[in-house]
């Protein structure tokens, strides 16, 4: 069985997907399976992948259900002891998987490790600032008590793209919540920490996150609304957090609802 299962959800990603897949196939660490879940593409993405990569990938087609459902399908089919993710328009640096596998192998108490990301424009040109620098956030690692306040204030983990997770985390707390289709990772980081798992950080960019100009305002609005829903869901599970950190909670919801209102203009 492979040591790592890599899950890639795709939807009409023909323009970018070759680069994403190739960046995985040239990894310095090679004991993996690449599971691609095609979430109802109509642009020929599946045909391209099967023709170009053949048995180097595991390709599965499903009717369109959303990114979280596609990722969950991939996890349910996985055989590896570690789970990694890559989106169709992003790509990995060659040492990404090796660095993260080595980290978790050497830190048995850590359930997940994440790293920073280089940023690229729509054409793939690398930008000057990393994700951490652009968002002006710092990293945090450790347990619930070390991280949850900072996570509530701001998501400091750069997307599923940047993480490697032990499979037993999913066995213990389940899959991503498909209700939060465009922010399912943020919800999961809360649940992971709540369950007593610890996270670690590698202090370097390991992946490249492609940005897109002209993101649809309705998509931004939906994402902002889901982030608020995730925070409310966390507080419902952990009502004592509001008592312990009242000013943070008030400040966060003021900022979040303001951003939601502005995104709807």
Residue 177's domain is classified under what CATH number?
3.90.550.10
User: Are 126 and 208 contacting, i.e. CB atoms less than 8 angstroms apart?
Assistant: yes
More confident residue, 205 or 216: 205
Report d(CA 231, CA 219) in Å as an integer.
Answer: 19
Start-to-end CA distance of the chain, whole Å, equals: 51
252 shares a domain with 147: no
Q: How confident is the model at residue 213 (pLDDT cuts 50, 70, 90)?
A: confident
What proportion of the chain, given as a percentage, has pLDDT over 70?
A: 98
203 shares a domain with 219: no
Residue that has been written with the tokens 């869901």 in this structure: 233
Q: Where are the alpha helices (DSSP H) in the chain?
A: 17-25, 45-53, 67-77, 96-106, 131-135, 144-153, 167-173, 184-194, 217-237, 240-244, 246-263
Q: Give the chain's domain count.
A: 2
List beta partners, residue 126.
Answer: 120
Q: What is the Cα Rg of the chain in Å?
A: 18
For helices 184-194 and 217-237, give the axis angle rounded to 10 degrees. 20
241 shares a domain with 137: no
pTM of the model: 0.94
94 shares a domain with 117: yes
List beta partners, residue 4.
Answer: 32, 82
Give the domain range for residue 70. 4-213
226 shares a domain with 194: no
pLDDT of the residue at 216: 53
Report d(CA 139, CA 163) in Å as an integer.
Answer: 13
220 shares a domain with 206: no
250 shares a domain with 207: no
Nearest to 204 by CA among 111, 148, 258, 130: 130
Q: What is the DSSP letter of 143?
A: S
User: Which of 33-42, 124-133, 149-158, 179-188 has maximum average pLDDT?
Assistant: 33-42
User: Are 4 and 78 contacting, i.e. CB atoms less than 8 angstroms apart?
Assistant: no
64 shares a domain with 154: yes
Burial of 210 (0-12, 13-18, 19+ CB in 10 A): buried
User: Are 154 and 148 contacting, i.e. CB atoms less than 8 angstroms apart?
Assistant: no
For 136, the token pair is 């002006």
What proportion of the chain, given as a percentage, has pLDDT over 90?
A: 86
Query: Which backbone phi and psi does 202 adopt, to 5 degrees?
Result: -105, 125
pLDDT at 265 over 70: no
219 shares a domain with 175: no
Q: How confident is the model at residue 217 (pLDDT cuts 50, 70, 90)?
A: low
pLDDT of the residue at 215: 57
Report d(CA 214, CA 10) in Å as an integer.
Answer: 20
- Compute the average pLDDT of residues 218-222: 76
More confident residue, 219 or 233: 233
């Amino acid at each position: 069985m492979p040591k790592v299962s890599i899950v890639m959800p795709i939807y009409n990603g023909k323009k970018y997907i070759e680069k994403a897949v190739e960046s995985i196939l040239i990894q310095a660490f090679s004991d993996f399976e690449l599971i691609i879940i095609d979430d109802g593409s109509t642009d020929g993405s599946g045909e391209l992948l099967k023709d170009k990569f053949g048995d180097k990938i595991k390709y599965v087609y499903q009717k369109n259900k959303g990114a979280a459902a596609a990722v969950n399908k991939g996890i349910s089919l996985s055989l590896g002891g570690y789970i990694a993710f890559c989106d169709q328009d992003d790509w990995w640096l060659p040492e990404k998987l090796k660095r993260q596998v080595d980290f978790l192998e050497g830190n048995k108490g850590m359930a997940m490790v994440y790293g920073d990301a280089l940023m690229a424009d729509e054409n793939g040109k690398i930008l000057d600032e990393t994700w951490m620098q652009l968002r002006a956030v710092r990293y945090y690692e450790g347990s619930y008590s070390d991280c949850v306040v900072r996570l509530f204030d701001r998501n400091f983990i750069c997307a599923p793209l940047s993480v490697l997770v032990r499979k037993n985390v999913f066995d213990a707390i389940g899959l991503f919540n498909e209700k939060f289709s465009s922010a399912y990772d943020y919800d999961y980081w809360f649940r992971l920490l709540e369950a007593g798992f610890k996270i670690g950080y590698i202090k370097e960019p390991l992946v490249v996150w492609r940005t897109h100009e002209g993101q649809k305002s309705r998509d931004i609005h939906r994402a902002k609304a889901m982030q608020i829903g995730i925070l409310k869901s966390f507080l419902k599970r952990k009502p004592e957090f509001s008592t312990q950190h009242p000013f943070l909670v008030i400040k966060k919801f003021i900022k979040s609802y303001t951003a939601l209102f502005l995104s709807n203009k």
